[in-house]
Structure 1
Amino acid sequence: MGYLFLSIAILAEVVATTALNASQGFTRLWPSVITVLGYGIAFYALSLTLRTVPMGIAYAVWAGVGIVLIALVGAVFLKQQPDLPAMIGMAFIIVGVVLVTFVSRTGAH
């Protein structure tokens, strides 16, 4: 269940961060509302994750996957194309998340 809640936390954070960009400094109502609600859901789901997943593992996965997903949203929807070093860095992040989640016994589910 912990990794299900972690997935919800990650998706809510990605939606919230995308809306934050659209809120234009909290000057647009609906993107601002989505931002606040999204981060609220993300932190609540993360708190539920921490019942069964170690904090360091949960945060590492949340941050790593969130970084990569936000970069993908930026590339696909906002035409913010990462350069080669950024893509290589994100590939390292993905490798790290896979190692932490599926190989390390620390994050065993």
Structure 2
Amino acid sequence: MSGAVFLTISIIFEAFGTTMMKLSHGFTVLGPSLGVALGFLVSFTSLSFALKTIPLSIAYATWSGVGTALSVAIGVLAFNESLNLFKIIAIVLIIVGITIMNRAKNDHQASSSLVEANRI
């Protein structure tokens, strides 16, 4: 499996674990409490596999940023949390930041390849 697939699994299970944390009511409800443990176990395991092929800075920024945006969406849709202009702007900025970081990684790889080619 590719690093991107592991990262996607990690993000989904992080959001699942966070949602279960809300439903556990401070770990007083057994089912959701077990869901927290399962969600974060799968999330961190998948993240560690993703780190075999994705740089730490990119993987962690993507994991935390997309996980945050997904948690906001779940909060709004499942728990009727408010969504205002500032939250929307914040989510857009997170996504733009992740996009820029991924773009910078690709530009760095391209320039590294050019430097390697010039050495030969």
Question: SS where residue 105 of structure 1 aligns?
Answer: helix
Gaps of 5+ in 2: 110-120
Structure showing the higher helix proportion among its residues: 2
Gaps of 5+ in 1: none
Deviation at 1:100, TM superposition (A): 2.2
Q: Give aligned pairs, total.
A: 107
Aligned residues: CA RMSD: 1.4
What TM-score, normalized to structure 1?
0.92
- Are 1:18 and 2:19 counterparts? yes
Distance in 2, matches of 1:73 and 1:99, equals 25
Identity %: 36
Give the structure, 1 or 2, with the largest relative contact order (CA under 8 Å, sep 6 or more).
1
Question: SS where residue 45 of structure 2 aligns?
Answer: helix
Q: What's 2:53 paired with? A: 52
Deviation at 1:98, TM superposition (A): 2.0
- Are 1:62 and 2:75 counterparts? no
Distance in 1, matches of 2:47 and 2:88, equals 27
What TM-score, normalized to structure 2?
0.84
Decide which structure has the larger Cα Rg and report it. Answer: 2
Pairs within 5 Å for 1:30-109 = 30-101=31-102, 103-105=103-105
Deviation at 1:35, TM superposition (A): 0.5
Q: Deviations over 1:20-45 (max 9, x none)?
A: 00000000000000100100000000
Q: Deviations over 1:76-101 (max 9, x none)?
A: 11000222111101111011122223
